[in-house]
Amino acid sequence: MCGIVAYIGHRQAYPILIKGLKRLEYRGYDSAGVALLHNGLNIYKCKGKVADLENNAKGKDVAGSLGMGHTRWATHGEPNDINSHPHLSESGEIAIIHNGIIENYATLKEELSKRGHHFISDTDTEVLVHLIEDIKENAHVSLEEAVRLALHEVIGAYAIVIISKNDPTKLIGARKGSPLVVGIGEGEFFMASDATPIIEYTRNVTYLKDGEIAFIKDGKLSIKTTENVEQIPYIQTLEMNLEAIEKGGYTHFMLKEIHEQPRSIYDSLRGRFDPITGMFAMRSLKEYEGKIKNLKRIVIVGCGTSWHAGLVGEYLFEDIARIPVEVEYASEFRYRNPVIGPDDLVIAISQSGETADTLAAIQLAKEKGATILGLCNVVGSSIPRASDAGAYTHAGPEIGVASTKAFTAQVAVLTLWAFGFAEIRGTATKQDLRDAFAELESIPAKVERTLLCEDQVIEIAKVFKDVTNALYLGRGYGFPVALEGALKLKEISYIHAEGYPAAEMKHGPIALIDEEMPVVVIATKSSIYEKVISNIQEVKARKGTIIAIVTEGDNKVRNMADYVIEIPETKEYLEPLIATIPLQLLSYHIAVMRGCNVDQPRNLAKSVTVE
Ligand code: G6P
């Protein structure tokens, strides 16, 4: 969380920083700030969004071709003007922006205070910049060396950028645990948390690895490790296009991303199977065939929506490949001494590829000898690099904080993997694969058709926009869908919503049901359709209001439910790809009607790089 962007070159830095910060705002939006070098160090920062920062800086000196900007998701210290980044060293010479957490900041702060340092903010970041200056002054070393030495004393995660009032030719960045990418243009350089602020100017980038420091000095880039070992930058050319990170005529990124799903699912499947021959073609898994064949267990780790995709994965792998699966919250897995070893395969799912808990879970599983498959959306991010193998979901940049198209893309790839594993283990025949792949091919068109329910969903949203609670029920493949539907509603509309296995309702949530409580039920024609119908009856008997997601042509549920939304028929294991769509739309429209900021819901951030 927190977005950082910096520029050094021949252009004016301010417009680049502001534009970049707006693209990074999904990472946090508690406060924003910039530092620009022009007749000294000019710092403007305030609580609120980047637009507030622009107002704050209006009419002030924003010139300078060296600068850096920050958008914050608060960890240490409440979101206010003072705690906003950039932060300054004791003398005011060095400025820093930071994404991450310095865990030992309290000890460092105490020591520095004893040595006469005064701190203005409550942040851990300010401590780091004071430490850098302290080392520079007392050890009589260059700024570069002081940064390197200071990082040795720091425990925690960081991506930082540093500039000095006394040196307009220098920009320093470093990373450990939080992402930092360096853009290399013609006589100009960029640094940012992801590539979106950079691609407008250059496609040549290098992603810093953990423990690396990038120094830009006199128009040259050099990279060293914190152990002082020179590195040769691996420069790659990005393929991302600008259009993908713009709203493209939609009111919100979230709505655009919901509507992009026919395409993002198609792109995530494209070239990975052949429905005619039944061939599964994900080369990255080829070298693990032996392992897959003899696998005793799969453990899936993830957070938030990615964890929900993992739950769908559990049903898929157990159903199709007959492998026992456990799905774990990465944050729990990492701290509970899990029983895991070389016979296990861990699948780590993450849109951003940067979620700190998921990354730590991978590291733990690796130490215990497990093989790691990463399933991520952001190319070049940390999780794919920490994994042994894996695949990208080709969903394109997801900017809305609430995940939508990344979820369906993850489920699409997990479905392919389940069939790929099934083939290797002999639990699916070539004909099974041909049938499955043929149906998979039809999913983008079915999602397109499902999106046509939007007008109907808007009418339902009008009825329920003022409720305070909602219950989402599903069974089998419908259960993770219910969880995801409830999460979407609470994230963006702030209505309390719970997802439950439909049959579990009678062990608690049923007590909540009355005329005021909408109950959304996934009631498609699955193998447990009749059982779900019984659960609907139980709700109706308590005067609950039912909004049912049903298969096209269904009449049985229609006669019981208060509202029905039809979705095209598909194989049961593919239903999450379709049934999720109306729930995403319902949350979106309810949130818009309640006047919520759907793309940037309060207190949330898209990329959670702190634990
Ligand atoms: C945050 C986001 C969620 C996301 C979760 C996991 O909470 O707001 O939308 O599902 O992080 O993120 P990841 O990038 O690992 O999928």
What's the whole-number mean pLDDT along residues 7-20? Answer: 97
Q: What is the mean pLDDT of the chain?
A: 93
515 — pLDDT class (breaks 50, 70, 90):
confident
Cα separation, 572 vs 121, in Å, equals 55
Residue 517 C-alpha to ligand 1 middle, in angstroms? Answer: 28
pLDDT value at position 77? 81
For residue 303, is pLDDT > 90? yes
- Judged on CB neighbours under 10 Å (0-12, 13-18, 19+), 342 is exposed
What's the whole-number mean pLDDT along residues 392-417? Answer: 95
Nearest to 76 by CA among 53, 56, 49, 104: 104
pLDDT value at position 509? 83
Residue nearest to atom 8 of ligand 1 (CA): 606
What's the whole-number mean pLDDT along residues 336-343? Answer: 91
Whether the Cβ atoms of residue 485 and residue 583 lie closer than 8 Å to each other:
yes
Q: Strand pairing of 563-567 and 545-551?
A: parallel
276 — pLDDT class (breaks 50, 70, 90):
confident
Best probe residue, ligand 1, of 257, 258, 305, 580 (max atoms within 8 Å of C-beta): 305
Residue 401 C-alpha to ligand 1 middle, in angstroms? Answer: 8
Q: Is 88 in the pocket of ligand 1 (CB under 6 A)?
A: no
Cα 110 off chain centre by: 35
594 — pLDDT class (breaks 50, 70, 90):
very high
Measure the CA angle with vertex 432, ends 427 and 436; round to 5°.
120
For residue 428, is pLDDT > 80? yes
Q: Is 410 in the pocket of ligand 1 (CB under 6 A)?
A: no
Q: What is the pLDDT of residues 202-240, one digit of tens each?
A: 999 999 999 999 999 999 999 999 999 999 999 999 877
Neighbour tally for 136: CB within 10 Å: 23
Cα separation, 440 vs 415, in Å, equals 9
For residue 182, is pLDDT > 90? yes
pLDDT value at position 398? 92
pLDDT value at position 147? 97
For residue 121, is pLDDT > 80? yes
Q: Is 393 in the pocket of ligand 1 (CB under 6 A)?
A: no
Residue with tokens 């409580």: 517
Best probe residue, ligand 1, of 606, 607, 609 (max atoms within 8 Å of C-beta): 606
Backbone angles phi, psi at 37, to 5 degrees: -100, 110
Residue 534's SS3 state is helix
Whether the Cβ atoms of residue 306 and residue 331 lie closer than 8 Å to each other:
no
DSSP class of 585: H
Residue 374 C-alpha to ligand 1 middle, in angstroms? Answer: 15
For residue 605, is pLDDT > 80? no
Q: Is 196 in the pocket of ligand 1 (CB under 6 A)?
A: no
Instruction: Give me the active site residues, please.
Output: 2, 606
Q: What is the pLDDT of residues 234-257, one digit of tens each?
A: 999 987 777 777 787 899 999 999
Ligand 1: atom nearest CA of 305 is 10
pLDDT value at position 505? 84
Backbone angles phi, psi at 228, to 5 degrees: 75, 25
Ligand 1: atom nearest CA of 304 is 10
Residue 99: partners with Cβ closer than 8 Å, 6 or more residues away: 1, 2, 3, 4, 27, 70, 158, 159, 160, 178, 179, 193, 609
Ligand 1: atom nearest CA of 355 is 15
DSSP class of 416: H
pLDDT value at position 238? 85
pLDDT value at position 592? 97
Q: Spell out the alpha helix ranges (H) of 252-390.
A: 253-259, 261-269, 289-294, 304-316, 330-333, 356-367, 382-386
Backbone angles phi, psi at 161, to 5 degrees: -130, 140
Q: What is the pLDDT of residues 450-464, one digit of tens each?
A: 999 999 999 999 999
- Judged on CB neighbours under 10 Å (0-12, 13-18, 19+), 58 is exposed
In this structure, of 63-67, 121-125, 286-290, the range with the lowest mean pLDDT score is 286-290
Whether the Cβ atoms of residue 515 and residue 555 lie closer than 8 Å to each other:
no
Work out the angle between the directed axes of helices 478-493 and 304-316 (0-180°, nearest 10).
Answer: 170
Cα separation, 468 vs 482, in Å, equals 18
